[in-house]
Structure 1
Amino acid sequence: MKVMKKIAKLLLLLFIAIQFFRPEKNTNQGNHLASFITETNPPENVKTILTNSCYDCHSNNTEYPWYNNIAPVSWWLSNHIKDAKADLNLSDWDSYGKRQKEHKLEEVIEAVDAGEMPLRQYIWFHPDAKLSREQSEAILEWARRTKVLYGLGPQPR
C-alpha cells in the first residue's frame, strides 16, 4: 500500500510539473485570411462552414478550448495543428503557387467527399463542426469551381 501511495504522489507531482511546459499557441489576431478569402471568393455559407469546421486547424489562428490548458492534451493539440497546417494553411495561401493551390483544393475535395474532414476527434469536442450533407456539397461545389478557375487563369475571382 505504501508503494501505491508513493507511485500516486510521484504521478501527481509529474502531472503538476508538466503543466509548466506549454507549447506555443497558434494565434494571429491580424487579418491572416484576407488573401485566401479575396482570391477564392467563397460564398457566405461556405465562409461560415470554413470558420466553424476548418480554420482552427488550417489557419494561423486557433480558438482554443479550455482543455488546451492541460498538459499533455495541449501537446497533442499543438502537434495536431502543426500537422494540419503542414498539409494546408489557409493563412499562407499567398505562399502557394498556382499549381499548389489547385492541388490543395483537390485535397480539400477528396477529404470532404470521403467524409475525412473535419476529423472525428475534432467533432467530438466541436459538434457544430460536423458537416451536413448540404454543407459538404456547398464546400465541394465551391472547391471544384475554384479549382477549375485556377486552371483557367492567374486568379479565380
Structure 2
Amino acid sequence: MARRLRIAVGALAGALLAVQAFRIDRTNPPVEQDVAAPAGVEALLRRACYNCHSHETVWPWYSHVAPVSWLLAHDVSEGRRELNFSTWAAYPGAKKVRKLRKSADEVAKRKMPPWYYALVHPEARLADGEREMLRAWTAEEIARLAP
C-alpha cells in the first residue's frame, strides 16, 4: 500500500511540474480610455473591479503557478468580456446602459465581487455604503445616457 501511495504522489508531483510548461499570457493590453466617474467612485471601481474588468490587471504571484493560473486567466478574460472599463469609451450608449444595469444588479445581489475573489483580495470587499455609492452612480449614469 505504501508503495502505491509513493507512486501516486510521485505521479501527481510530476504532473504538477509538467503543467508548469503551459504558461498564460499576463500582458495587459493598452488602456484606450477609462470610465469617467467621480473620484470616490473611480477609486472604488479601481479597488474592487479593475483587476478583472480592465486592462490594468495586477497579476499576483500565484498567476505564475498552473493550474491556478489557468483559472485566473479565465476569470480575467471573462470579466473583461462582460465589462471592460478600459474600453468603456468605445461602447455605444445603449450598451453602456445595459452594462450599468447589469453591474448594479450584480453588486446589489452581492455577486460582485465574487466571494472567492474577495477571500484572497480583502481590499475588494464592499461595505453596504460602498454598494450604495455604486448603485447611485450607476443610476445617475443610466439617467444621463438613456434615451
Do they fold alike, i.e. is TM over 0.5?
yes
Aligned structure 1 segments of 4 or more residues deviating by more than 4 angstroms: none
Q: Which runs of 5+ in 2 are unaligned?
A: none
Match of 1:155 in 2: none
1:9 and 2:10 are equivalent in the alignment:
yes
Written as runs of structure 1 = structure 2, the 5 A alignment for 1:80-99 is: 80-99=75-94
Q: Secondary structure at the match of 1:25?
A: coil
Does residue 135 of structure 1 match 2:134? no
Alignment of 1:34-49 (within 5 A): 34-37=33-36, 42-49=37-44
Q: Tell me if 1:115 matches 2:110.
A: yes
Deviation at 1:35, TM superposition (A): 4.3
User: Distance between the aligned counterparts of 1:16 and 1:95, measured in 2?
Assistant: 42
Q: Name the CA distance, whole Å, in 2 between partners of 1:45 and 1:134.
A: 12
Aligned counterpart, 1:102: 97
SS in 1 for 2:146: helix
CA RMSD of aligned residues (A): 1.5
User: Residue 34 of structure 1: SS of its match in structure 2?
Assistant: coil
| Deviation per residue, 1:70-123 (Å, 9 max, x gap) | 111000011111111111111121332111011001111111111111110110
Aligned letter for 1:115? Answer: R
CA contact (8 A) 1:118 1:129 kept: yes
Which residue type is aligned with residue 36 of structure 1? Answer: V
Write the distance in 1 (CA, Å) between the matches of 2:60 and 2:34. 27
Change (3 A) 1:99 1:56: same
Please name the residue that 1:27 is paired with: 28
Q: For residue 61 of structure 1, report the CA deviation from its aligned partner.
A: 2.1
Among all aligned residue pairs of Structure 1 and Structure 2, give the percentage whose two residues are the same amino acid: 28
Higher relative contact order structure (alpha carbons within 8 Å, sequence separation ≥ 6): 1
Distance apart, 1:26 and its partner CA: 4.7
Counterpart residue identity of residue 85, structure 2: L
Stretch moving more, 83-92 or 141-150: 83-92
Structure-2 separation of matches of 1:35 and 1:124: 26
Alignment coverage as a number of residue pairs? 146
